[in-house]
Amino acid sequence: MQNTKQGTRGLKQILHRLYLLLDRRQKANFVLILCIMAVSAGLSQLTPKAMGWLTDDILAQERLEFRAVLPVLLFVLAVNVVNELIKIGRRLLVEDTATKTEKKARGLVLASLLKAPLSYFKENMTGNIHGRLNRCLEGTVKLEKLIFMDFAPAIFNSAAAILVIFTTLPVSLAAPMLLVIPIGTAIVLRQIATQKGIRVSLLETKAGMDGAIVELLNGIAVIRITDAAAQEEERFDGRSELLRSKEMHHHVQMAGYDSLKFVNQAVFTVLMIGMSVYLATKGVISAGDVLTAYLCFSQLLKPLEELHRILDELAESVLLAEDFFRLADIPNDFSYQPPLLKASVPEGPAGISLKDLWFSYEPEHPVLRGLELDLPPGTFLGVAGPSGCGKSSLIKALCRLEPYEGRIEIGGADLAGLTRQQIARLVALVPQEPFLIAGSIYENICYGLDRLPTPQEVEQAVQKACLAEFVESLPEKLDTPLAEGGGNLSGGQKQRIAIARVFLRQPRVLILDEATSALDNTTERRIQAEIEQLLKEQQMTILSIAHRLTTLRNCDQIIVMDQGQIVQSGRFQELVETEGVFRSMYYGRLK
C-alpha cells in the first residue's frame, strides 16, 4: 500500500512538472482534447444503440424491406465517419502539443548538460548519457501521448459503454457483469508491480550497452592494431546474452498474465451473453437489447484488453520521465553559480597573479601546492614540466573549470568574482585537440564570438593562422562543410582553425596548451610570429604550455613545474644551461 501511495504521488509530481512545460495555448488544447474525447465516446455508443433499434423495430417486422434498413445504415455510417474525423482532430492536437513538449524538453536537458559539473561526465560514460537522453525524451513524450491518445479515451469510452449497459440491461445483470473490470484491473496492476523491476533492469542494461558501444567505437584504431575485435565481440556477446535472458524472463511472465486476462474476459463474455439471452427468452429484455448489450460489453472489454499495455507503458514512461527530470535537474557547475562577491571586468591589458594556489581532485592528494606567480600585462610565459606535474590543472584553475583554493587575479579582478561570460571575454584557451562542430570552416572560425566579424577580419585571421592556401584550394572556400569533430581535416588544419579564432577574438589572456603540436616547424614559426605580434600590439598575456621545448624559445619567462610546484624559472637558454628538470627534459628529448 505504501509503495502504491508513493507511486501515485510520484506520478502526480511528474504530471505536474509536465504540465508546467506547456505554454498557454498547449494547456487550452488539452481542454479542447478532453471535450473531443467526451463527444467521441458518446458517438461510439450510437452504433450499438442503432443496431438494437434495427433488430427490434425493423428486422422484427413480418415484411422486411431494405429501404427501411437503409436510413439506419446511413446513420451508422455518418456517425462513424464524424467520429473518425473527430479522432483525427484530437490526434493532431495531441501530436502538436507532444512535438512542442519534446522540443522544449530537449532544450532543457541540453542546457542542463552544458552547465553540468565536469565531475558528472567523469562519473557517467558519454554513450550512457546519450542513450539515457534519447530514451528519457522518448518516454516523456510517450507519457503525454499515452494519457491523451490511449488512457483518457479508454476511460471515456468505458464510462459511456457502462452507462449504455445500465440503461439497457437490468441492474441485477449489469452490475455483476462489471466485475470483469476490477478483476482485470487487479491482474494488470499485479502484472505491473511484478514487472517494474525487470523494466528498470532492462533500461539500465541497455544504457550500459550504449556506453560500451561508444567506448568501442572511440577506440576502433587500437582495437584494430591489437587485433582485439574477436575478444571485444566475445565480451559484448556476453552482455547481449545477459540482456536477452532478462528479456525472455520478462516475456514469459507477460505471457502468463495475458492468459489470465483472456480467461477473465472470456468467462464474463459468455456469462453476459448467456444471461442476457435468458432474460430475452423470459421477455424481460428484447432481442435488440441483447445485441446492444453485447456490442457495448465488447467496447468495454476492448480498452480492458489494452489496459495492461497502456498501464505497462505508462509505468515505463513515468520511469523515463523521472529520469528526464533528473537530467534536467543536474545542478549547475560551480562556475555558473552567481559569485558571492562580484568583481568588475578589468579594462585594458590584464596581467595574472596567483596567490597560494592549491588544486586537487581528491583532498588528500593535492596536484597544485601553493603556487605563487605574478605576470605583468603583456608577458609571454612558457610552462614546462614532466607529465603529471600540474600543467593541465593550472589551466583548469585559470579557466575556472575546476574548484581551487587560494586566489587568482586577472587584471586585478578576483577570478572567483567573475561570471562565466566575463571569463570568456577575458580568457581564451587553444587546446591540443580543438573542438570543431559539424559546420562550415567559416562557422568554426567564428565559433564562440559574441559579435559578427567583418569579412576583412575573417580574411586576416585566416592569413595569420596560415590557413589561406588551404582554404583557397577548396571548391567552396570558407563555406566548405566539416565532418563531425573535423574528421576530414588533419591535426594541423584543426589546430590552425582553432588559432584563427584567437585572432578574431583577441582575448586579454591567451592560453596555448600544445596548440601547435601538430604543425610543421615552418608553419609553427610563422604562427608563433603572428601571435607574438599580437602580444606586442595589444599587450596580451600569453601562457604557452609545450612538450616541444623549442616552442618556448622566445618566451619572456619560463616556469618549470614538478609535483605541483614551480621548481625553476628563467629564460630558455638560461634554463638549458642550468642543471635541473628543464635541462634534463631538453637533452632527453634530443636523444
Residue 225 banded pLDDT, cuts 50, 70, 90: low
Least confident interval from 133-137, 405-409, 540-544: 133-137
How much is the pLDDT for 58?
58
Q: By CB neighbour count within 10 A (0-12 exposed, 13-18 middle, 19+ buried), where does 81 fall? A: exposed
Indicate the pLDDT class of residue 442, thresholds 50, 70 and 90. Answer: confident
Least confident of 110-124, 164-178, 415-429: 164-178
The answer, yes or no, to whether residue 522 has pLDDT greater than 50, is yes
Which of 104-108, 321-325, 535-539 has the lowest average pLDDT? Answer: 535-539
Q: 13-22, 259-268, 451-460: lowest mean pLDDT where?
A: 13-22
* pLDDT number for residue 154: 80
Q: Is the pLDDT of residue 538 over 60?
A: yes
pLDDT of 536 reads 80
Phi-psi region at 506: left, alpha or beta (left = phi > 0; alpha = psi -120 to 50):
left
Q: How confident is the model at residue 432 (pLDDT cuts 50, 70, 90)?
A: confident
184/164 Cα distance (integer angstroms): 20
The predicted structure's pLDDT at residue 6: 47
Sequence-separated (6 or more) residues with CB below 8 Å from residue 129: 113, 121
Q: Out of 5-9, 267-271, 336-340, give the one with best mean pLDDT.
A: 267-271
What percentage of the chain exceeds 90 in pLDDT?
A: 1
Q: Does pLDDT of 168 surpass 80?
A: no
Rounded to whole angstroms, how far apart are CA atoms 45 and 50?
9
Burial class (CB in 10 A: 0-12, 13-18, 19+), 7: middle
pLDDT, position 8: 55
Distance CA 50, CA 48 (A): 5
The pLDDT tens digits for 6-57 are 445 567 788 888 878 777 887 788 788 888 888 888 788 777 777 777 676 6
Farthest CA pair distance, the chain: 123
Quick one: pLDDT at residue 59?
A: 54
pLDDT, tens only, 567-583: 988 998 988 888 888 88
pLDDT at residue 103 is higher than 60: yes
Quote the pLDDT of residue 585.
Answer: 85
157 residue type, one letter: N
Cell of 233: 565481440
Cα 89 versus chain centre, distance: 30
Q: Is the pLDDT score of 591 beyond 50?
A: no
Backbone φ, ψ for residue 212 (5° rounding): -65, -40
Query: Is the pLDDT reported for residue 198 higher than 80?
Result: no
In three-state secondary structure terms, 410 is strand
End-to-end CA distance of the chain: 75
Residue-level pLDDT at 590: 38
Contact 477, 471 (CB under 8 A): yes
Rounded distance, CA 329 to CA 315, Å? 21
Domains located in the chain, CATH noted? 8-333 (1.20.1560.10), 352-590 (3.40.50.300)
Q: Is the pLDDT of residue 149 over 70?
A: yes
Sign (positive/negative) of CA torsion 461, 462, 466, 468? negative
Side-chain half-sphere exposure of 246, counting CA atoms within 13 A: 18
Strand partners, 409: 353, 414
Instruction: Name the more confident of 433 and 199.
Output: 433
Q: Give the number of other Cβ atoms within 10 Å of residue 522's Cβ.
A: 9
Range from 163-177, 197-211, 285-299, 376-390 carrying the lowest mean pLDDT: 197-211
- CA distances to 10, 319, 324, 464 from 17, rounded to whole Å, are 11, 14, 11, 51
Q: What pLDDT digit, counting tens, does each position of 356-385 carry?
A: 998 888 878 888 888 888 989 888 898 988
Collect all residues with Cβ–Cβ distance below 8 Å to 290 and sequence separation of at least 6: 273, 276, 277, 280
Q: Pick the range with the lowest mean pLDDT from 107-116, 215-224, 248-257.
A: 215-224
pTM score above 0.75:
no
Please tell me the distance from the alpha carbon of residue 346 to that of residue 580, in angstroms, as a whole number: 37
pLDDT band at 4 (very low <50, low <70, confident <90, very high): very low
Of 511, 488, 504, 518, the closest CA to residue 442 belongs to 504
Q: How many CB atoms lie within 10 A of CB 85?
A: 11
